[in-house]
Structure 1
Amino acid sequence: MGDASTIIVGTAGKAYMGDVGATFPTGPEIAWGSDFTDMGFVTPDGLEEALEEERTQLDAWGEDAPVIDLAKKRTQTFKLVFRQTTAQLLSLYYQVGIDNMTSTAAAVGPPAKKQFISFGSGSLSDTVEIALGLDVIMSGKRHRIMIARAGVTEREAIKHSADDSSNYGFTFTALAAPGGAQSVQHQITDVPLPA
């Protein structure tokens, strides 16, 4: 029998980033610790999660169907579009470490000058990886996704116009976690296991 209370509609959500190796919360209702930074507003499109598998099938003499179906590789991706412009999002988009950015302080003047950051686009050898935390929220329910090590594998073009904000669209791919830990962990409230 159907149970409408088990339907999750992601009416809100948040994304958090930390250094690879950061400690994740132990439950979906526990606040994110100081190891993580709120990544800011996400567009109403929300989060798109995808899981792809590459499989190998083994046949046997005299059998008309495969006898073994092996998963060779699983790739999990998470797509989000952010509305804000922050040093962290610029670091991910341009693949340049925060420590390779320079901040020039504001000056009262005369002439007055605004604070600004400057950086060059990262080199191919400069790869920014993060620990990524995602919360999908609806009416007290929470689906928390924790990615121990993630890299940006796709970027949407940034559009600068009067019609919309300059958004940063990323597809994050879960990478192998340090020390052989699970690369992606899920915590979902109000979903009991069968007896």
Structure 2
Amino acid sequence: MGDAAEIIVGTAGKAYRADVGSTFPAGPEEVWGAGFTDLGFITPDGLEEALEEERTQLEAWGEDAPVIDLAKKRTQTFKLVFRQTNAYMLSLYYQVKLASMTSTAAATTPSPKKQFISFGSGSTADTIEIALGLDVIMSGKRHRIMIARCGVSDRGAVKHSAEDSSNFELTFTALAAPGGAQSVQHMITDVELPTP
């Protein structure tokens, strides 16, 4: 029987980054720790989560169907489009470590100059990996996704125009977690397990 209370519509959401190895909150209602930084506004498209599998089927002599179907590899991706331009976003998009960026302070004399950040891009030596935390929120319900280690595997073009903000479309791919932990954990409020 249908139950409208089980329909989730992600009306809001947040994305947080931290260093790989950071401790995630123990529950979906708990605040993110001091090591997690809010990555800023996300476009109304929200979060696109995908799970792909590569499978191997083993056949047996005399059988007309596979006898074993093995999952060979599972790849989880998370796609978001961010509106804000900040150092964390520039680091992820251009794959430049924060330590490789330079900030030049504002000056008032001899002539006024604004503060600016500068960095080079194009080197494959820098690979940025982060811990990523995602919250999908709807009417008091929360779906929290915690990715222990991930990197940007795809990015959309940044468009500079008067019609829209300069957005950063990033697809994160979950990587094997440090220490053999789960690479992706989900916490969803108000979903009960069936009684056995």
- Equivalent residue letter for 1:3: D
3-state SS of paired residue (2:131): strand
Alpha carbons of structure 1 residues 96 and 112: separation in structure 2 relative to 1, 3 Å: same
Match of 2:110 in 1: 110
SS in 1 for 2:17: strand
Deviating beyond 2 angstroms after TM superposition, the runs of 4 or more aligned structure 1 residues are: none
Q: Does 1:4 align with 2:10?
A: no
Partner of 1:75: 75
Q: Do structure 1's residue 44 and structure 2's residue 44 form an aligned pair?
A: yes
Q: Residue 56 of structure 2: SS of its match in structure 1?
A: strand
Q: Which residue number in structure 2 is paired with residue 92 of structure 1?
A: 92
Letter in 2 for 1:30: E
Q: Hey, what does 1:62 align to over in structure 2?
A: 62
Q: Distance in 2 between matches of 1:19 and 1:182?
A: 16
Q: Distance in 2 between matches of 1:87 and 1:74?
A: 31
Could you report, residue by residue, the CA deviation over 1:102-153 in whole angstroms, capped at 9, with x for unpaired residues? 0000112231110000000151121000000000000000000000001000
Q: CA deviation at 1:192?
A: 0.5
What is the SS of the residue equivalent to 2:92? helix
Equivalent residue of 1:93, what SS?
A: helix
SS in 2 for 1:99: helix
- Distance across 2 between alignment mates of 1:51 and 1:73: 10
Q: Structure 1-normalised TM-score?
A: 0.99
| Alpha-carbon distance in structure 1 between the residues aligned to 2:66 and 2:125 | 42
Which amino acid is 2:46 matched to?
Answer: G
| Number of aligned residue pairs | 195
Q: Distance in 1 between matches of 2:125 and 2:110?
A: 42
Tell me what 2:142 maps to: 142
User: Could you tell me how far apart the structure 2 residues matched to 1:112 and 1:43 are?
Assistant: 34
Query: What is the match of residue 185 of structure 1?
Result: 185
SS at structure 1 position matched to 2:37: strand
SS of corresponding position for 1:50: strand
Report the TM-score when normalising by structure 2: 0.98
Provide the C-alpha distance between the structure 2 equivalents of 1:157 and 1:25, rounded to a whole number of angstroms: 33
The DSSP-based 3-state class of the residue aligned with 1:80 is strand
Q: Map 1:13-24 to 2 at 5 A.
A: 13-24=13-24
Give, in whole Å, the separation in 2 of the partners of 1:71 and 1:30: 34
Match of 2:120 in 1: 120
Q: Which residue of 1 is the match for residue 156 of structure 2?
A: 156
Paired residue type of 1:49: E
Distance between the aligned counterparts of 1:83 and 1:109, measured in 2?
33
Partners of 2:107 and 2:5 lie apart in 1 by 56
Q: Equivalents in 1 of 2:88, 2:122: separation in Å? A: 14
